[in-house]
Structure 1
């Protein structure tokens, strides 16, 4: 365990019972004696990356949360700067263009 061994091809002859040949897959040189030595140590498990705030912010969930935080804090500030008369005029223009209002989209309500 913990070491990587080169693959070995083992051929068993059907015509000559008892004849077995072993050869490494890299060079196909027939081995007289099967002695395997590890070529390197093997890392079977991935090393867990340490916690990073940037990886959390780059994830899709982090982006959605960041966008919602911006919307929650930025939209009220933008609405404070708008004139109530301007908002009313924009709503009337939307009604004139045929854009449905929110209450008309809710089920059970008819206008």
Structure 2
């Protein structure tokens, strides 16, 4: 963590006796609140302690506990993330099917099917396919 120097000084007058809480608001940093006890019996006696660990402070010098991150750091581009996505998997599957299916079909069977379609006058209808119509030889 970078050490930042804040030269802000403050003073308060006529603070009533009791326990007070000092909270520092600085953009980008988080400071632990400080509990300040002003004594009613001994005028001018002030004790300060961090609320985080109740450590007593002789001087009221505060250092940021952490540097706050408001935004999430974007991950760099990765080609594997495209392949792992559902769309990438579908495209990969279709490419494999496109190249492997012609090798799985017998060329003579493909030629015979094309001749049958030509003899029937085009592509068979979906109704014939769903009804389980027999092929004519």
- TM-score, normalised via structure 1 length: 0.48
User: Greater share of helix residues, 1 or 2?
Assistant: 1
Q: Which has the higher contact order (CA 8 A, sep 6+)?
A: 1
